[in-house]
Amino acid sequence: MLAATVAVLPLLADGPVLRDLADTRGITYGTAVTASKLTGAYGELAGEQFGALTPGNEMKWESVEPTRGSYSWSGADRVVDFAEAHGQKVRGHTLVWHSQLPSWLTGGGFPAAELRTLMTDHIAAEAGRYKGRVDYWDVVNEPLDEDGSLRRSLWYEQLGESYIADAFRAARAADPDAKLYVNDYNTDGLGAKSDGLYALVKRLIAQGVPIDGVGFQAHLIIGQVPATLEANLKRFADLGLDVAVTELDIRMALPVTDAGLAQQKAEFARVTTACLAVARCVGVTVWGFADSDSWIPDTFPGQGAATPYDENYVPKPAYTGIAEALGWTGGGDPPPAGSSCSVTHTVQNEWGSGFTAALTVRNTGTAPLDGWKVTWEYGAGQRVTQAWNATVTQSAARVTAVNAAYNAAVPTGGSVTFGLNGSRSGTNPPPTGLLCTTGS
């Protein structure tokens, strides 16, 4: 008999799918995206590998209301629509921040009362537009200075600390079901700035402000990942809030070295493990999944390579580090970009001479599937003796499973499961070469 924990882990011989691995561990693995790039290989990977999307810029104030009273939702809509089509969650980013504000707002010279109304109206408009479609909002972004005091932003200077409570209340009123977060950077480990955040959050809770979670951006540097990350996440969770790693990247000096990539792999794994270790950590989001879509080289000249995929969407050691931290043990390569379905093979039960396996086909593409085929090899002499929900044939080690008439159609983001009984004469290693292809 397999231990119960083993039985629920997918055995992915065709390489890991981060969103599925994360699901089995009870967290969500997300990525920030650029709306205009959500086609081709970039779109395929974003849809296939990640369980949540954060618009990198498209929901910021300067993007949605570049001139007063004139809204532009196309980029934000694109991300939300894409996420819905792929069964993904959405992190809304961000309602109130000191940066990327339109100049009509920063240069408007508004008196305090008017500025407060502008802020709450903005929250009502944006969170209201996406009511029921955004799972988490970064309501207030980066409210702290490095010493842990409140940042002297436009908002704080004009409105005082109460802008934060007002922002959360306006967000709750606009979308009662969204989880409301405060989000900041350099607050990942214990220290003066995270102490300031902790004190702020405690004050908000004491005032009955509707806050649900704390986001830790985790814009990190190789060799400098805080040792106290897990302890820090835990102390916020112990306040009765959810926590999340919201903008993870781990940058290094360019050009990259093998040693740097190896260290980065270990550190992506370590951050992922820290989230898994804290019961109220709901997930990790990487700030861009590919080095070609990362803000780091522009913002920190001479540094980069901060994400799990390289410029050509080839997974880096960091990608494998994440997958391994999520429990992946199989070999094989990640599914090629462009495949529009993924498949997992899970041994559900095992006895002396046989086993039962379930295989789940997921539509990771952008169009409904009309037919699918899964192939793999059983390398230790296992033989399929019975199957359901698919027509399964075997020739030596090679197994082919084709959809039944009634489960050929799979909507985008949807999945179907088929199963089999097999005989075995010895060990029952996971299949190799597990691959899903689509029909006509």
Task: Enumerate binding residues for ligand XIL (CB under 6 A).
Answer: 56-57, 141, 185, 217, 247, 295
Amino acid at 127: A
CA 90-35-50 angle, 5° bins: 45
**Among 142, 230, 267, 324, the one annotated catalytic:** 142
CB 330 within 8 A of CB 11: yes
Choose between 258 and 298: whose C-beta lies nearer to ligand XIL.
298
Choose between 20 and 247: whose C-beta lies nearer to ligand XIL.
247
Choose between 25 and 151: whose C-beta lies nearer to ligand XIL.
151
Query: CB 141 → ligand XIL: shortest distance, Å?
Result: 5
Query: CB 246 → ligand XIL: shortest distance, Å?
Result: 8
The two tokens of residue 333 are: 């390569």
The residue number whose beta carbon is nearest to ligand XIL equals 295
CB 220 within 8 A of CB 271: yes
Query: CB 386 → ligand XIL: shortest distance, Å?
Result: 51
Residue 146 known to be catalytic: no
**Greatest pairwise CA separation for the chain in angstroms:** 79
Choose between 183 and 363: whose C-beta lies nearer to ligand XIL.
183
Query: CB 217 → ligand XIL: shortest distance, Å?
Result: 6
Query: CB 56 → ligand XIL: shortest distance, Å?
Result: 5
Q: How far is 322 from 308, CA to CA, in rounded Å? A: 8
Residue 247 known to be catalytic: yes
Helix 162-174 with 192-206: angle, nearest 10 deg? 60
Choose between 141 and 264: whose C-beta lies nearer to ligand XIL.
141
The two tokens of residue 408 are: 């050929």
Choose between 141 and 382: whose C-beta lies nearer to ligand XIL.
141
CA 48-276-316 angle, 5° bins: 45
CB 339 within 8 A of CB 437: yes
Question: Which residue in 305, 303, 302 sits closest to 289, CA to CA?
Answer: 305
Query: CB 120 → ligand XIL: shortest distance, Å?
Result: 21
**Among 48, 58, 247, 324, the one annotated catalytic:** 247
Query: CB 290 → ligand XIL: shortest distance, Å?
Result: 13
CB 374 within 8 A of CB 415: no
Choose between 217 and 363: whose C-beta lies nearer to ligand XIL.
217
Choose between 95 and 410: whose C-beta lies nearer to ligand XIL.
95
Query: CB 185 → ligand XIL: shortest distance, Å?
Result: 6
Active site amino acids: 142, 247
